[in-house]
Amino acid sequence: MRYSRFPLIAGLFALGATGALAQTAVKVETVADGLENPWGLAFLPDGRMLVTEKAGRLRIAASDGSLTEAIAGVPEVMASGQGGLLDVAIDPDFKTNRLVYLSYAEAAKSVAGTAVARGTLSEDGSRLDDVQVIFRQEPKVEGRGHFGSRLAFAPDGTLFITVGDRQGFRDEAQKTTSHIGKVMRINADGSVPKDNPFVGQEGAKSEIWSIGHRNVQAAAINPATGKLWTVEHGSRGGDEINDPEAGKNYGWPVISYGVEYSGAKIGVGTAKEGMEQPIYYWDPSIAPSGMAFYTGDLFPEWKGSLFVGALKGQHLARLQLDGEKIVREEKLIENVGDRIRDVRQGPDGALYVLTDESKGRILRLTPGD
C-alpha cells in the first residue's frame, strides 16, 4: 500500500513544492509526414527509425524524412476500432541478431486479442524473416477496444507486455486465469521466466507480472532504478502512472480516481486494502499514450524528467521527478494541435514524437532560441 505517495491532480503541485517549472524554449520540426496513424517508434542503431502504422504497415524513416515502403513479413493485424499494428521494439542484442518485436491486435473469427511477434529484419530492411508469435492474449474476446499495448525490455533481457481490459471485460483484470487487464513478463523467445509471480499457481497464467490494469498504452524502464513504469487510461478521469511490481494488484475496476462516462461511481472508491496506489494520476483525463524518460544532454534541464504523450490533451507532458515522486508538471507543444501517440528519446538527445492522425508526422524537439 502506498497512500503516502500523494498522487497529484494535473496542474497542482505536490505538498511542499513551490513555484512553477521554468519554460524551456523548444523548436519543433517535422522529420517525416504522410504516415497513416503512426503508433509506435523505435530507433535502430544507425539512427533510423522503425515506425508502425495502425493499419498494419511497418516502415523505416530516415533523418531526412524519407520513408521506405512497407516492410514485408509483418503479421496480419486486425485494424479496426482501437486495434491494429501497435508497438515496436528492437532486441537488446539487435546489432548481432537483428530481432524486431511487434505488438498488434490479432483476430480469430469473431474474437480478437493482443499478440506479440518477433522476426529478423533483413540487412536491406525490406522484410522480416522467420516471424514467430511469442505471445497471444488468452482468452480472445469480442470487441475492438483496449488492446494496450506497449513493449519494454527490462535490464535482465525479459520483455514486458501490456494488455488492456478489452473494454467490455473489465472484471477479468482481477483474475489471474486471464491475460486481460494485465502486465505480462516473458523471455525474449516467448518462454516464461521461472521467477514470475504466478508460476506454479493452479489455473493462473504464468506470463502475468501484475494485475488490475485498465488500458496500459505506455511503458518504459526507469533508468534510475531499472524498474518498469506504465501509464494507463482511466475512464472519465483517473489516468494513472504506476510502477508495477511482481504479483501486485493495481485496482481496476475495484478502485479508481475516475468515474464512469455516465458519471457513476466506479467500484468501491479510490482505495482498498491489498490494492496499490498510483504514483500519479490525472483528473480530468489527458488520454495518455507513449512515454519516455529523458537521459540526454541536449536539454540538460530536462535530465531525469518523464515525458508522456496526450491524445485528448494534444500536448506532451513533462513530469519532474524527485526520486519516485512526481513533483511538477509542464505542458509542451500545445500549439501543434494533434493527438500525441508516442514519444522517444533519439540518439542525438532530441525528443521524437508521433502524431496520431490520418496524415501523421514524426516530430523532432530540439532547444529553441
State which amino acid sits at residue 163: V
Question: Which phi and psi angles does 300 have, rounded to 5°?
Answer: -60, -30
Residue type, 368: G
Report angle CA 356, 291, 50 to the nearest 5 degrees: 60
In 22-179, DSSP assigns E strands to 26-35, 38-43, 49-53, 57-61, 85-90, 99-108, 111-121, 128-136, 151-153, 159-163
Of 139, 117, 143, whose CA–CA distance to 128 is shortest? 117
φ, ψ (nearest 5 deg) of residue 366: -130, 165
* Dist CA 198 CA 23 (whole Å): 45
Q: Are 121 and 88 in contact (CB under 8 A)?
A: no
Q: Record the cell numbers describing residue 4, joined without a space.
A: 503516502
Active site (annotated) includes residue 146: yes
The CA distance from 41 to 71, in Å, is 14
Spatial separation of the C-alpha atoms in residues 103 and 85, rounded to whole Å: 7
- CA 335 to CA 16: how far, in whole Å? 31
How many of the other CB atoms lie within 10 Å of CB of 256?
Answer: 24
- 3 state SS of 32: strand
Answer yes or no: are the C-beta atoms of 204 and 196 closer than 8 Å. no
How many CA atoms are closer than 13 Å to the CA of 4, on its beta-carbon side?
A: 2
Q: How far apart are the first and last CA of the chain?
A: 45
Q: Count CB neighbours of 160 within 10 A.
A: 23
Sign of CA dihedral 105, 108, 111, 113: negative
Active site positions, annotated? 146
